[in-house]
Structure 1
Amino acid sequence: MRPRILLLGGTEAGVRKAAECGLDVVNIDKPALFEPAARAYCVQTHLVDYQDIGLVTALARTLHAHRPFRRVVSQTEAGPLVAGHLTTVLGLTGTGAATARLLHDKAALRALLNERGIGPVPFRVGGSPSMLRAFAERHGALVVKPTMGSGSLGVRKVHTPEQVPEAWAWLDAFGVGEFMVEKLLTGTEISVESFSVAGHHTVLAVSRKDNGGGVVALGHVLPAPLPPGCAAEVEDMVRRMLDAVGLVDGPAHTELILTADGPRVVESHPRCAGGRIAELVELVHGFDMERLTCQLALPGGVPALDPVTRGAAAVRFLTPPPGRVRAVEGLAAARQAEGVVRAEVGVDPGGQVEPLRWSEDRSGYVVARAEDAATAERRARSAAALIRVHTEPLPIEPTATMQDLLTAADEVLDPFGVALCNE
């Protein structure tokens, strides 16, 4: 009998990979996000909101009692916290509730890292305008962010104490809710993709992020050009962080900043990376991290992980001016450009380009490869420049709160908090 896994939010590609690994897949997905083509690779499909904790827990218990699961897996941004909860409830191997919660709650992770001396960073939770101003005066600059979430949603940099009133007004208008304040870290931003088996953490890839001075990633390049000796320091910090949170098995996506005082962890997630980084990892290092995650459920486990670098790859995102889309040009030319592996546009004429508030607002991307990182990045930028999304301003500039954006994405930051509110 084939091993069985419970997959939360499975895409067609993800479910297919699990089936190809020799697994029976039970997929629980949100109706609005479900990809119908995924059904062909599942033994069961349940279209319910997996962030409805009471419902998904009862459903998982019933399914597990009928025929046990080997693992609970999720590669979505909203799913790992629930997957950790179900892993603990069902008594399965994998990242459990405590570890998933630590990695979901940025303030809890920062407190733990500071307590363990793993790249300490001054921070506070919540506050007032006077506290923000005092924090900025003491530390020079700060960043405010929700204590939970991803995709740079609700993140804002405050460079001087004089900017505090404007930032406070934005926090209120955007409806950030519970937030944390950290010293603003400056330096090269990188992402580390790792995979853990029985507590042994292997760093598979390190990419460099370009956010153009803002908070939303405009591009990534892999491998990241790092100063001599920096790679070992980064890998050591990531391994110490993963040990501290108790992650034993599976993928982790960790974002860091290379400051003058050494690397500092920004956040980490127990899943494969978004932003096309997982695709870059496969192009350059040959690891399909989604497939590796599925293989954890097999009796033979995961094959030996021996990273090998084959050239470089980069992604560049499309961020046209916000407004109504009049025309899209140049996609065919971009796809034919040198080194381009993939190019996609996510908006059509008549559609709308939103202001760049988080990763979901990007309008497309170009992935390119080359023999070295600089050339791969140049190719991705050049091909992306060939794509022109023509927009016209809307009569009334759209405004939205953070909750509006989450609702449109069918996501809540803390499904356990919602469950408590509904009791």
Structure 2
Amino acid sequence: MKRPTILVVYDDGAARPADIAVGLAEWANCVFVVEPNDHNLTMRPLLTQFGQVVVVDRIDRAVEGLRALEPDGLVTYSERTIVLAARLALELDLPFHSLDLCERLTDKWQQRAALNAANVDVVRCHRVGHLSDWDAAVAETGLPAVLKPAQGGGSRNTFLITDAEEGRRGAAELLALERPGLLAGGTLVLEEYLRGRDCGPFGDYVSVESLVLDGHVHDVAVTGKLPMVPPFRETGRFWPSPLAEEEEDRVRDLARRAVTALGITLGITHTEIKLTPDGPRIIEVNGRLGGGMNYLAERAMGVNLIELAARAALGLPVQVPPFYRGRTHFHIFHSTPRRPGTLLGVDGVNVLKTIPGVTLYRPYVRAGYRFTGEVQTQEIDIVLGAVDDLADLPPIVEKVESTLRYRFAFSTGEIEVNGRELGQL
């Protein structure tokens, strides 16, 4: 049987090059399609170990070269590349999200407008393209509200606004940035703050991981979350969720209705949902694999979501995994501080590995790594593990947070903190 050729439109995102290779390289010919940015140029030598690399400097030239390769399908695992993937798919006549759909998936204001119009979940939202839009935005959403880039990801530059004048100053600072979100010159949105209910010791939100085939939405799992650290940075995820089955069913129904209303007919979706006193509310729908979800699926179910997404894109048979309700598998991770500095080292890793339930510690950066201090979920490391009972997870989180110690150098001097304290930096 002829090996299919699949275009992987690559950038920094939910799947790393080695993970893509594990999921695809044994059964498909991978062609990595990349834009010439710093991350992709740095990763290019690694990508070439797993497949051909095509750099897109101009769409027309790229399409001509890609067409000659006779690709059978196209997929992306990065928020940054969804629109580029759609443009290439259109030119190459390959199945993918339409350009209109991609606008709804990557522009948070357009997505809210579509969900509001479909009466799936009505959340007040206003675009802030210029500072002159600020007063109207506050009048529309009220306070508190959430200010964030219209095109963003990873909680980048996402802030809680409780005071109109402080918010105006914050909006001015973000609008002055060359790249407030994922796009140069991108705009902002101000949206109604969805106040969560008390879900301690877990976070007040979940996500729904789904596989969409021929317009039919198949849920794979509902992902539980650990509490965020300021302002909206994630700290951990786990399967299955802590929700009772009845509430979980409501969450899944809301996610399916949102995915359907946006017009998604193919691929993997990652829908974030807030748990409020009045019931579940949509945070956002992502038309791609969620970060870390492939690791959870592999360990919990032995299923590779990277592979499933590619098989769906190629029109190959896909065996839909049963909805996950098994043993608790977890990820605990730590983000870089919100001010620029240098990581000097991480201590306690050897002790960490002796904690029952912990199976793996994976660093993402090494000592000497310089971080810019941008507000976003930028992982320093991740702790993976599994327990038989969800009730055993909170004590493990506490042990992990007290065991790991992080040393940083800032302009004001050196500092050492544990995992819990790191979240406040």
Match of 1:118 in 2: 120
Distance in 1, matches of 2:317 and 2:352, equals 40
Distance in 2, matches of 1:247 and 1:81, equals 14
Match of 2:17 in 1: 11
- How many angstroms does 1:164 deviate by? 3.2
Match of 2:151 in 1: 148
Match of 1:255 in 2: 272
The counterpart of 2:95, out of the listed 93, 96, 106, is 93
Distance in 2, matches of 1:62 and 1:119, equals 43
Residues 163-193 of structure 1, C-alpha deviation per residue, up to 9 Å, x if partnerless? 4344345435556451111110111211111
Counterpart check, 1:185 vs 2:197: no
Distance in 2, matches of 1:155 and 1:118, equals 24
Q: 1:163 to 1:228 in 2, by over 3 A?
A: farther
Distance in 2, matches of 1:264 and 1:61, equals 44
TM-score scaled to structure 2, two decimals?
A: 0.82
Q: 1:328 to 1:305 in 2, by over 3 A?
A: closer
Distance in 2, matches of 1:57 and 1:152, equals 33
- The Cα RMSD (Å) is 2.6
Supply the AA of the counterpart residue of 1:184.
Y
DSSP 3-state at the match of 2:3: coil
Counterpart check, 1:388 vs 2:397: no
Matches within 5 A, 1:19-418: 19-20=25-26, 22-29=27-34, 30=36, 31-34=40-43, 36-42=45-51, 44-46=52-54, 48=55, 50=56, 52=57, 55-64=58-67, 66-126=68-128, 127-135=132-140, 139-161=142-164, 163-172=166-175, 174=177, 176=180, 177-187=186-196, 188-209=204-225, 210-274=227-291, 276-297=292-313, 300-319=316-335, 323-355=341-373, 357-360=375-378, 362-395=379-412
* More displaced stretch, 294-303 vs 145-154: 294-303
DSSP 3-state at the match of 1:266: strand
Q: 1:320 to 1:378 in 2, by over 3 A?
A: farther
DSSP 3-state at the match of 2:43: coil
Q: Note if contact 1:135-1:142 (Cα within 8 Å) is conserved in structure 2.
A: no
- How many angstroms does 1:299 deviate by? 6.0
* More displaced stretch, 296-305 vs 185-194: 296-305
Aligned-residue sequence identity (percent) comes to 24
Q: 1:395 to 1:114 in 2, by over 3 A?
A: same
Q: Note if contact 1:370-1:376 (Cα within 8 Å) is conserved in structure 2.
A: yes
Distance in 2, matches of 1:350 and 1:5, equals 37
DSSP 3-state at the match of 1:326: strand
DSSP 3-state at the match of 2:195: coil
DSSP 3-state at the match of 1:32: helix
Distance in 2, matches of 1:304 and 1:207, equals 17
DSSP 3-state at the match of 2:396: helix
Q: Note if contact 2:124-2:191 (Cα within 8 Å) is conserved in structure 1.
A: yes
Structure 2: runs of 5 or more not aligned:
11-15, 181-185, 197-203, 415-425
Structure 1: runs of 5 or more not aligned:
398-423
Q: 1:374 to 1:340 in 2, by over 3 A?
A: same
* More displaced stretch, 370-379 vs 148-157: 370-379
- How many angstroms does 1:81 deviate by? 1.9
Distance in 2, matches of 1:147 and 1:217, equals 19
DSSP 3-state at the match of 1:317: strand
